[in-house]
Chain A
Amino acid sequence: MEILTGLMHGFAVAFEPTNLLWCFVGVFLGTVVGVLPGLGPPATIAMLLPLTFSMNPAGAIIMLAGIYYGAKYGGSTTSILMNVPGESASVVTCIDGYQMAKKGRAGAALGIAAIASFVAGTVGVLGLMLVAPPLAKFALSFSSPEYFALMSLGLALVVLLAGRSIVKALLAALVGLWIASVGTDLFSTTSRFTFGRMELLSGIDFIVVAIGVFALGEVLGNMETREETTLLQTPKGLRNLLPTWQDLKDCRFAFANGSIVGFVVGTLPGGGSTIASFLSYGLEKAVSRRRDQFGTGVIEGVAAPEGANNSETGGALVPLLTLGIPGSGTTAILLAALVLWGFKPGPLFIPEHPDLFWGLVASMYIGNVMLLILNLPLVPLFAQVLRMPVYVLYPLILGVSLVGVYSASGSLFDLGLLIVFGLLGYLMRKLDYPAAPLILGLALGSGMERALRQSLMMSQGSLEILVSRPISAVMLSLAVVILMIPLFGKFNAWRLRVLES
């Protein structure tokens, strides 16, 4: 009943004309961003974040979330028509989607991607609506030790899943923690890592790092070549984009699989839509009667991963809004957005800001309908975005990044920092350091330090408090086990080598 009342209230907020407009702007921009390879939702949200400071927070979060899930709809277009994933989560869609397009079934592939995204995206929002309120109530019993343990667990999961090398992922997270420490320590008013610069006393703005590492790093990486990609023929007319009745029947399990796998993976910090889409594709292939044909243009091979990557959004918002723990780079930027607007995501977020939470949930139902309408008949139009020359696109991204940072602080020093972090983002890409742990370390750094120091103040300096409380002990043990997993693998490989020799 409480949920139903909340949802009704949310629809009242989401149906306000300005919020409807922001929802449309968000999903439209998201689709465009999703279509464009080389420009992801974290970069776009980070670039646009400063422009939301003068907006009503409900409209702003509705728009930013629209970009987040809208990009996942758009990502399939490039995967299917160009064999180039618009988003990392759409990598799997290339496998069967591009093969379908080559066989002349691009319309059905694009259509089923939109329908699967709609079905699973809606299930994901349903999950968010049902799971978030009880989880928030449970988290009300959390104190500093539990929060420290939870943040450690979140960071450990992200580190484990973020890249090929756990050492590099951990180092990236530690650099994030270091950047978060720059500035004045609020407990003792000591200036830390300011190198005598007055500008650094208030710390390094999250936006500067996020835009630098994601947007500038991406553009610099893409500027390495002048390569152009070729676009397959886009089907025209709604009739050619609708899958057949048989296609829909074949995808029944894929819709359910994508919805459930996506949501569950989304709720885990570090899960992410890429893992969700790979898992659901693997599951679909494992249970399919025609598993031998996967990779040759099977429609379920498009529906399952596209569904999972959209359902993941609802799941990812659960820990963000109820515990204040982001599970990925994009949700870390959304967390920073909420904090910058003056809100504190956590157990009290839903009761204290029902307009924001329920308005967002309701807007996601509406946004999914908008995206279905946009993505079915207007796919040919969005595909035209791919014809924009990159020598026009990249200066535009650079310009928006510069304006975004300057408008947030009015400081040329911050623009200098942006340039430095842009280079850092590019080097991280080149050297295989994942960006998500750095952003997460930065987003969680000050909270982690505060929680740890408050815990130790509660226990008069004894670390035992972290392991004597059951929830905290379980989460910290899990974090340790997660970080040890790669070591177990290495030990096992060494043991086998020894046994063989």
Chain B
Amino acid sequence: MEGDARRLGDLWSGLALALLGGTIVAQAWQWDYSTSEGPGPGFFPLWYGIAMLALSALLVLSSLRRGPPGGKPADWPRIGRALACWFALAVSVSLFKTLGFVLSFALLTYFIVAVMYRRPAATAAIVAAATGAGFYLVFDFALGLALPAGMLGF
């Protein structure tokens, strides 16, 4: 990522990490810093939380000092493709309990082939069926690894 996209990326990721650092420090503050036997559970997290806060503040400040926007913007269509795939993956995993691994994964494969790579529906269906069946045969049937089963029993 270059120019403006990079500056904004640094700014927002810095803010997110500052929030995480703040949460870590706030949580660590509630635990013992030291006990009669030595350092307590809050000792280590407190120090790396403070370090995270300091470094993320540095990142935010350096991104603000780089001046106003004007460089190359983020390539949202590309990012959108990756995020669409991630979302499909998340939906597929959330369906494991209902549809089971084999069906959910076959649907995910169909989505990737037909929608993300714009292959004909028949090709997508063949690849989806073959991968779903292949995973069941190799992992569940041959290796005996129990894959998440759905209402249909597989």
Contacts and interface: CB of A to CB of B under 8 A. Distances in A.
Contact of A453 (B27, B39, B118): B39
A406 B148 CA distance: 8
26 contacts: A51-B143, A167-B58, A167-B62, A170-B51, A174-B51, A187-B40, A188-B32, A190-B32, A192-B27, A220-B82, A220-B85, A220-B86, A223-B85, A224-B82, A391-B113, A395-B108, A395-B131, A399-B105, A399-B135, A406-B145, A415-B148, A422-B86, A423-B86, A430-B9, A452-B44, A457-B37
B60 to A, nearest CB: 10
B55 A167 contact: yes
Interface of A: 51, 167-168, 170-171, 174-175, 177-178, 181, 185, 187-188, 190, 192-193, 216, 219-221, 223-226, 389-392, 394-396, 398-399, 402-403, 406-407, 410, 412, 415-416, 418-419, 422-423, 426-427, 430-433, 448-449, 452-454, 456-457, 460-461
Of A392, A426, A449, the most chain B CB neighbours within 10 A belong to A392
Contact of A178 (B1, B10, B24, B85): B24
A391 B127 contact: yes
B72 interface: no
A226 B117 contact: yes
A198 B32 CA distance: 22
Contacts of A427: 13
Nearest to A187: B41
Nearest to B90: A419
3 A-B pairs with the lowest CB-CB distances in the bound complex, closest first? A457-B38, A391-B117, A224-B78
A297 B87 CA distance: 44
A178 B41 contact: no
Nearest to A220: B82
B51 A433 contact: no
B64 interface: no
A449 B44 contact: yes
A231 B93 CA distance: 36
A168 B50 CA distance: 15
Interface residues of B, number: 62
B89 interface: yes
B29 interface: no
Given A51-B143, A402-B93, 18 more contacts: A168-B59, A174-B51, A177-B48, A188-B41, A219-B85, A220-B82, A221-B82, A225-B81, A226-B118, A392-B131, A395-B105, A395-B109, A403-B139, A419-B93, A426-B82, A431-B10, A431-B13, A461-B38
Interface in B1-44: 1, 6, 9-10, 13, 17, 20-21, 24, 27, 31-32, 34-35, 37-41, 43-44
B145 A167 contact: no
A88 B116 CA distance: 26
A175 B113 CA distance: 35
A407 B139 contact: yes
Nearest to B77: A224
A65 to B, nearest CB: 22
Of B38, B90, B96, B116, the most chain A CB neighbours within 10 A belong to B38
A221 B109 CA distance: 17
B46 to A, nearest CB: 11
B82 A223 contact: yes
A223 B81 contact: yes
Contacts of A171: 17, 52, 55-56, 59
A216 B131 CA distance: 18
A187 B51 CA distance: 23
A223 B116 contact: yes
Nearest to A225: B78
Contacts of B119: 391
A124 to B, nearest CB: 33
Contacts of B90: 419
Nearest to B116: A223
A188 B58 CA distance: 34
A192 B41 contact: yes
B79 interface: yes
Nearest to A223: B85
A416 B112 contact: no
B74 to A, nearest CB: 9
Nearest to B139: A403
Given A419-B86, A432-B6, A403 B147 contact: yes
B82 A456 contact: no
Given A181-B45, A188-B32, A452 B146 contact: no
Contacts of B131: 392, 395-396, 399
Contacts of B112: 223, 391, 394-395
B81 A224 contact: yes
A227 to B, nearest CB: 11
A219 B20 CA distance: 26
Contacts of B49: 178
A479 to B, nearest CB: 14
Nearest to A426: B82
Contacts of B143: 51
A63 to B, nearest CB: 15
A431 B17 CA distance: 13
B39 A452 contact: yes
